[in-house]
Structure 1
């Protein structure tokens, strides 16, 4: 799904194609777009740390709400006089554009499969979703066909960042229970001598 084309002749994706959704909404691409727009991700930080920094820049904490890290919150300071950190306009713009791309991508899923529910997961999805899932949902319903869009719920997953691994582990269990808890029956195939295939080929001619 991440490699559906959302922009013709768009950004080069790591898969080699151009204009993929992942090239705009994936964590790596999101940070790269922020950097290109003038943002400053922490040097040497991993993707998760850098994305956290981007969100903090776009949505700075109110003075007095952090654990003593905001200016003016040191012991003896008056929290009421602490200067408010302004949101990073560049980070906000990149995140807003990303929300629209994700919404358009969700609309593709809605139009193709008409699901009852879409859940956002993964470490990046969980970080971003808490901030603008409502905005993404709005774009999804704007871009999707009205009938299926009115019947889908978009929410946050509850399995944490390991949802894909858990889902894969469930597949063999689902197959096992579908067979009523019985082992899969295997056919006994007798090994044929090497000359048998030669005889069959000659008979065919």
Structure 2
């Protein structure tokens, strides 16, 4: 769907080409039915996976993020929600919202970078205490 890609194209480029084929601009050609079908399958599989998370953990909110989630989300989020509701237990699904992350494609990296800072602040801004180890005596 969307035609052949250059040999050096990465996953992000391929996904962007698929979305462009499925959802062309108003002046472009009609939507590619193969691309639309593939994206509908993707929404169903993602919705089913999200439903499993809802059933197992009963979260209040699920955020779709990362580069793939942020590319797919504007087009597929309503369908992902619909499929998640269809596959999840009704009681658990009614208490969960599914949204797009707002921190950009590097949210996981930024979040991980805050862990050492949080640890530092939890210690009151002091360095970790060095542990003194007793020498090992060999007999």
Question: Under a length normalisation based on structure 2, what TM-score does the superposition of the two structures give?
Answer: 0.88
**Per-residue deviation, 1:193:** 2.2
Partner residue, 1:52: 16
| Distance in 1 between residues matched to 2:18 and 2:37, nearest whole Å | 11
Partner residue, 2:25: 61
In the alignment, which of 151, 154, 171 is matched to residue 95 of structure 2?
151
SS, match of residue 194 in structure 1: coil
User: Greater CA radius of gyration, 1 or 2?
Assistant: 1
SS, match of residue 95 in structure 1: helix
Question: Which residues in structure 2 correspond to 1:5-154 (within 5 Å)?
Answer: 40-44=3-7, 45-63=9-27, 85-154=29-98
Q: Contact between 1:41 and 1:53, CA under 8 Å: does it hold in 2?
A: no
Question: Which residues in structure 2 correspond to 1:164-203 (within 5 Å)?
Answer: 164-195=108-139
Any idea what the Cα deviations from partners look like across 1:106-154, whole Å, max 9, x if unmatched? 1111111111111111111101001011110111111111112111111
**Per-residue deviation, 1:165:** 0.6
The 1:147/1:92 distance shift into structure 2, 3 A limit, reads same
SS, match of residue 68 in structure 2: helix
Note the residue ranges of structure 1 that are not aligned, 5 or more in a row: 1-33, 64-69, 71-84, 196-205
| Distance in 1 between residues matched to 2:62 and 2:75, nearest whole Å | 17
| Distance in 2 between residues matched to 1:43 and 1:60, nearest whole Å | 20
Aligned length: 138
SS, match of residue 119 in structure 1: strand
**Per-residue deviation, 1:182:** 4.0
User: Runs of at least 4 residues of structure 1 off by over 6 A?
Assistant: none
Question: Under a length normalisation based on structure 1, what TM-score does the superposition of the two structures give?
Answer: 0.62
Note the residue ranges of structure 2 that are not aligned, 5 or more in a row: none
The 1:118/1:179 distance shift into structure 2, 3 A limit, reads same
| Distance in 2 between residues matched to 1:101 and 1:194, nearest whole Å | 60
